[in-house]
Amino acid sequence: MKRNNQTLNTSEKLRTEKPSKLLWNLSIPAMVGLFVIALFNVVDIFFISYAEGVDAVAGLTVAFPVMMIVMTLSSAVGIGAASIISRRLGEKRDEDANMVFGTFIFLILIISFISLILGIFLLEDILLLFGATENIMDYAYDYMLPILLGFLFIGFSMATNSLLRSEGNAMFAMKATIIPAIINLILDPVFIFDFGLGLGVLGAGIATVVSQGIVSVFIFLYYYKGKSSLSFQLRNVRFRVSVAKEITTIGFPAFVQSASNSLIMVAINAMLIQHGGDMYLAAFGIVQRLIGFAVMPMIGVMQGMLPIVGYNYGAKQFQKMRETIWLSFKLVAINSIIVVILVFLFPEKGMRIFTDDPTFIEIGSYAMKVMFACFFVVGVQIIAGGIYQALGKPKPALILSLSRQVIFLIPLVIILPSFFGVTGVFLAFPISDFLSFLLSSYLLYRDRDTILVRGKKEDDIHLPDSIKEVT
């Protein structure tokens, strides 16, 4: 009964509270989680840049997409299992939910075993495929080896985050994200620098595994001690074909979308090495992480917007829905404009966080200004994709999410360097940003009735069918 009252109160807030207050309350927690993830991606490269230099940063840049593919695979399993478990719990089929949980754990064990085999036998070949050169191979190898060998902890902690949210425990899920980031921040200098263990890049990889291992223990105890709606039972940890198929079917789109980003990095790395060299690759790696911080507030606004738009669309409170959408556009526009101004005024300061090398700072500052040239329109694509997601229209949402990274960026990264050299790689980013903005604007204008302006059919009970799919 208590859970039902809490759900009712949440729904009542979505219906009655002002859009500005709702958007603020829902966006801030999302931003906190995203900030922690962005920080986690930056910490290793920050310490490594000072301890080992430019080649080591380039090594981590090559290793990162390899790590992301395996992490994405476990996250996709978590997304698929979370979807099924939330529905089973809602249907009061607790035992079925526990069986799904057991199959989920079995799949994570399989992924971890595959990662172990890859780490022992194929890691060097994989890194060569992803663009590692002779100068940076050792750094990339040393970083990835402990991560693949200890992937059980990384995969388990990442995948269970979706499960924690599926049963409504967003607070514990947030803690499970923050704790390893803090531990990693503490362990990195101890494991990397000579005043500690002096392990260099290898120490960064080990610190990542240790931090995820510690939080994995807390998560396991959460389930084992009965604090969850799910219960861990060893007899349930086995492979069930039908359940595994449903998990992978639901999680596959998320895997494809995220894995495609990693594969894009292969093309980018190859072009940077071919036309610029290891220093340009390292500079790009740093700028990419700074972009992660820059888009974080906009993605947070989008995630906060989703339940407000979805609820009020379903409740036919279209005016409140439109107020939320327009407010979201204004917030991301302000954020992106501020970011562009800061980048163009102080590009060197962003690079000096990671290095004192004047040549490296010059290359990175130039890359930053080029790559951020059209950043002020990025928010439109992010919010537009969120709108279609909230309205339950997966085709336009998927096309918008893939437009920048896949549809536009890959061809531009391959073609432009032939005309502009290494600058062409950097130019691909603002051009793809602008093309994605045009596509988003077209779709929003096409479907503007009800979404952006008052529609003629707002009183029609079949209104959701009037929002067009992309065919």
Q: What is the overall mean pLDDT for the chain?
A: 86
Q: CB atoms < 10 A from the CB of 18, how many?
A: 12
CA atoms within 13 A on the CB side of 373: 14
- Half-sphere exposure in the Cβ direction for 304 (13 Å, CA): 28
Q: 459: buried, middle or exposed (CB in 10 Å: 19+, 13-18, 0-12)?
A: exposed
pLDDT at position 168 is 59
Give DSSP secondary structure letters for 327-341: HHHHHHHHHHHHHHH
How is residue 393 written in tokens? 């229209």
Higher pLDDT, 240 or 93: 240
Look-up of token digits 């700028």: 287
Q: Contact at 8 Å (CB) between 391 and 350? A: no
Query: What is the 8-class DSSP label of residue 470?
Result: P
Do residues 155 and 112 touch, judged by C-beta distance below 8 A?
A: yes
Reduced to 3 states, what is the DSSP secondary structure of residue 133? coil
Q: Which helix (H) or strand (E) holds 96?
A: helix 94-117
- The rounded distance, in Å, linking the Cα atoms of 6 and 167 is 13
3-class secondary structure, 453 = strand
Structural contact between residues 390 and 467, judged by C-beta atoms closer than 8 angstroms? no
Residue 191: both structure tokens together: 């494991």
Residue type, 108: I
The sign of the CA dihedral 133, 280, 49, 155 is negative
pLDDT at residue number 467:
46
Question: What does the DSSP assignment read for 422-438?
Answer: HHHHHHHHHHHHHHHHH
Q: Which two tokens stand for residue 381?
A: 């694509």
Q: Which residue has the higher pLDDT, 9 or 200?
A: 200
pLDDT in tens, 263-275: 788 889 999 999 9
Asked whether residue 166 carries a pLDDT value surpassing 90, the answer given is: no
d(CA 285, CA 269): 9
Helix 151-166 × helix 170-192 angle, to 10°: 160
pLDDT confidence band for 13 (50 / 70 / 90) = low
Task: Tell me the one-letter amino acid at 430.
Answer: P
- Residue for token pair 């997966």: 394
Amino acid at 296: M
| Calpha distance 71→152 (Å, rounded) | 10
Question: Which pLDDT does position 257 carry in this prediction?
Answer: 67
Span 175-185, pLDDT tens digits: 888 899 899 99
- DSSP helix/strand/coil, 320: helix
Cα(16)–Cα(422) distance, integer angstroms: 53
**Residue among 307, 91, 56, 64 nearest 193 (CA):** 56
pLDDT at position 299 over 70: yes
Q: Within 10 Å of residue 462's Cβ, how many Cβ atoms?
A: 7
Please list, in sequence order, all residues whose beta carbon lies within 8 angstroms of the beta carbon of residue 83, skipping any fewer than 6 positions away: 166, 250
Q: How confident is the model at residue 469 (pLDDT cuts 50, 70, 90)?
A: very low
- CA–CA dist 457, 106 (Å, integer): 49
Q: What is the pLDDT of residues 212-237, one digit of tens each?
A: 999 999 999 999 888 888 888 888 99
Output the CA torsion sign for 303, 309, 311, 314: negative
Percentage of the chain lying above the pLDDT 70 cut: 90
Between residues 85 and 322, the one the model is more confident about = 322
Residue with structure tokens 């130039």? Answer: 366
pLDDT at 175: 85
For residue 24, pLDDT beyond 90 = no
